[in-house]
Amino acid sequence: MGCYCGGVNISATRGPQRMRRNKIRAHCPRCRHQQLFVRAVLNHPLHLLLTLLTLGLWSVSWVALCIGRLLRPWRCEHCGWHNPIFKLKTPEPQPARIGRLQHAVAPGH
């Protein structure tokens, strides 16, 4: 299962904690190369059920999870960095350098 979102292929998987996660590959500034970034997918029906069963007490946790996901949605699996770079500027091709020829201008030429 996956979707194509904003030029990035997002695939949902289940991790070892049985929590559903989205994964993308993006540039990590801390690792300095392409890494796998993950973010948790919230199970809103479950949180609604827990909120109803606890008479609203669980809503504090639910809101905290939502805010945390908004502030730092993606996390590098390797180093934990939270700010991926989705599009790196590729350097423009440089024209071939022509060696400078130094001409000595002789007087009278």
Quick one: 42 exposed, middle or buried, by C-beta within 10 A (0-12, 13-18, 19+)? Answer: middle
pLDDT band at residue 17 under the 50/70/90 scheme: very low
Mean pLDDT value of segment 51-74 = 92
Q: Which residue has the tokens 């993308």?
A: 24
Is the pLDDT confidence value at 99 over 80? Answer: no
Q: Does residue 29 carry a pLDDT above 50?
A: yes
pLDDT at 88: 64
Indicate the domain borders of the chain: 2-76
- Statement: the pTM of the whole predicted model exceeds 0.75: no
